[in-house]
Amino acid sequence: MPEHRTIDVSEIIERQKVSGFVLRLVVVSWIITFLDGFDTNLISFAAPYFASDYHLSRVQLGNIFAMGLLGTLIGGFLLGYVGDRIGRRPSVILSGAGFGVLTLCFAFATGYWSLFGLRLISGIPLGGILPLAWALNMEYVPKRYRSTVVTVIMMGFSAGTGFGGPIAVWLIPKLGWKAVFVLGGLAALLCTVILFLALPESIRFLASKRREPARMAAILNQIAPGQSFSPQATYVVADEPTVKKDFKPSLLFLGELKKITPLIWLAYLASSFAVYFLVNWTPLVLESLKFSRREAATAASLISLMGAIGALCLMRFTDRRGAMAVTVMPVMTFILLLVAGFADVPHSAFLVLVACIGFFLVGGQLGVISLCGVFYPTAYRANGAGWASGVAKIGSVLGPLAGGWVLSTNMPVRNIFGVLAICPAIFAVCIYAVGRMHSRMLGHEALAELEPSRLPVSIE
């Protein structure tokens, strides 16, 4: 290949088959998001134990839960910005090391205020790593697989939150509640070493920033081994607008994005409110409904695990049909929450019902997450995903706080599920509107493929 050629990185990515290089990237990303979910949710399963040790009220527990999610809100904004400035790879490695160390620090907590502070600070790297992982993986796969790959990675997060329950039930009675934080922290630090050795930088990011042509050539020689790429070539990303200015939030509202961005934010916020309400409070809510501690922990784990299965069932429909495919998930969640809140459901059937709610609610949320980076170009994709994640964390913070407040009132505990149905109703309306716009955009892309003379629009 002549050294002076201009090479379109996006064209090579779109033509590639699923390679060993991409599979390794997805596997490594899945592992770190698994540990992110595991460490994020350990607090929920340890809560009944440290609440007893330190004599914490439900309101205090709600504050601790909410502070972690406030930290993830900060992390989504902060590390999204960092990822678009210095790169996906160093930002992911920094985040993994950060939450590994801070999770370990929970073993030294001595009461309410130390738990409160640690939960806030540890939330920053825990919340920042997910948008970075989405952006990095989306930038290595063809557009037809983007939603699928993001969903697979987020299934790692859901699996991590789900496995926390069984591990806590097995480990805490033997070694105490601090042992699960030691396990989670050490595992994250070990994974950080793997990330340092195996995680590549986004080639779209490098090309859009005109950085390290030798590194890009080496990566492309792995992705397309039948060709030969030279460090002297010029590498570009031709399928996206050229952004000449530094990121500013107004870029998230250009053109169709002025409607899509706020709708995605509101859908993600509403789903996060419901998800984090259930994930954080389900063990204590079910104990209030006379379920055993083991049954309550199992049910809480099933919410996340069934959500991962729901997302797995949804992901290919999302790639083929766009955002519209996600709509069925919040609609079903709305119906099931009303049944859980107001119908007379037998004891054992109620656990099955909770698992089904997890299937549709968490599966739908993962569907929204898979869309967060689809609408934004490489130059500010991490910022776009980070802002969506950050705004959604408002719901993540309010959900646990609302749970602590509601459980302190005289409202019948079962009715909480019915009231929570408001969230998937909002989610359904928003994602349906996004789906209609996305369907039009996919139709335009299909037409554009028949008109190759169309050129990307430059953002001045």
Cα angle 432-438-441, degrees, rounded to a multiple of 5:
155
Q: How many residues does the chain have?
A: 460
Give the range with max mean pLDDT: 18-32, 200-214, 330-344, 440-454.
330-344
Element containing residue 276 per DSSP (H, E)? helix 257-288
Poorest-pLDDT segment among 121-130, 160-169, 235-244, 358-367 = 235-244
Token pair recorded at residue 313: 């069932």
Residues 24/256, Cβ–Cβ less than 8 Å: no
The pLDDT score that the predictor gives to residue 100 is 92
**Token pair for 46:** 């340890």
Secondary structure in 3-state letters for 50-106:
HHHHHCCCHHHHHHHHHHHHHHHHHHHHHHHHHHHHHCHHHHHHHHHHHHHHHHHHH
What is the rounded CA–CA span in Å between residue 390 and residue 403?
Answer: 20
Q: In whole angstroms, how far apart are CA 415 and each of 84, 273, 409, 434?
A: 44, 17, 12, 31
Of 133, 127, 112, 10, whose CA–CA distance to 53 is shortest? 112
Of the ranges 93-107, 292-306, 381-395, which is most confident?
Answer: 93-107
* Buried-exposed string 311-341: b where 16+ CB fall within 10 A, e elsewhere: bbebbebbbeebbbbbbbbbbbbbebbbbbb
Q: Within a 13 Å sphere around the CA of 351, how many CA atoms are in the beta-carbon half?
A: 16
Q: What pLDDT does 225 receive?
A: 75
pLDDT of residue 360: 92
Q: What is the mean pLDDT of residues 39-51?
A: 84
Tokens of residue 139, six digits: 């930038």
Average pLDDT, the chain: 81
Q: Average pLDDT of 325-330? A: 88
pLDDT at residue 4, as a whole number: 63
Is 87 in contact with 205 (CB distance < 8 Å)?
A: yes
| pLDDT tens for each residue of 80-120 | 788 888 888 999 999 999 999 999 999 998 889 999 999 99
Query: Comparing 428 with 13, which gets the higher pLDDT?
Result: 428
Average pLDDT score over residue span 32-41: 87
CA nearest to 117, candidates 102, 95, 97:
102
Res. 240 pLDDT band, cuts 50 70 90 = low
3-state SS, residue 143:
helix
Query: How far is 316 from 313, CA to CA, in rounded Å?
Result: 7
* DSSP result, 297-363: HHHHHHHHHHHHHHHHHHHHHHHHHGGGGGGHHHHHHHHHHHHHHHS---HHHHHHHHHHHHHHHHH
The predicted structure's pLDDT at residue 456:
38
Q: Is the per-residue pLDDT at 61 higher than 70?
A: yes
pLDDT band at 232 (very low <50, low <70, confident <90, very high): confident
- Cα–Cα dist 34/440, whole Å: 35
Q: What pLDDT shows up at residue 246?
A: 64
**29 neighbors 133 (Cβ within 8 angstroms):** yes
CB 61 within 8 A of CB 47: yes
pLDDT at 194: 93
Alpha carbon 46 to chain centroid, angstroms: 22
Beta bridge partners, 6, equal: 234
List phi, psi (to 5°) of 231.
Answer: -65, -20
Q: Give the count of beta carbons closer than 10 Å to the beta carbon of residue 249.
A: 12
pLDDT for 1 = 46
Report pLDDT digits (tens) over 66-79. Answer: 788 788 878 877 88
Q: Are 304 and 37 in contact (CB under 8 A)?
A: yes
* Domains of the chain, start order: 6-449 (1.20.1250.20)
pLDDT in tens, 131-174: 888 788 888 888 777 777 877 887 788 788 778 778 888 888 88
**What pLDDT, on a 0 to 100 scale, did the predictor assign at position 182?**
94
Residues of the chain with pLDDT > 70, as a percent, come to: 91
Contact of 188 with 96, CB cutoff 8 Å: yes
61-100 in b/e form (b: 16+ CB < 10 A) is bbbbbbbbbbbbbbbbbbbbbbbbeebbbebbbbbbbbbb
- Out of 192-206, 321-335, 397-411, which region has the weakest mean confidence (pLDDT)? 397-411
Average pLDDT over every residue of 284-304: 78
In the structure, what pLDDT confidence band is assigned to residue 393 with cuts at 50, 70 and 90? confident
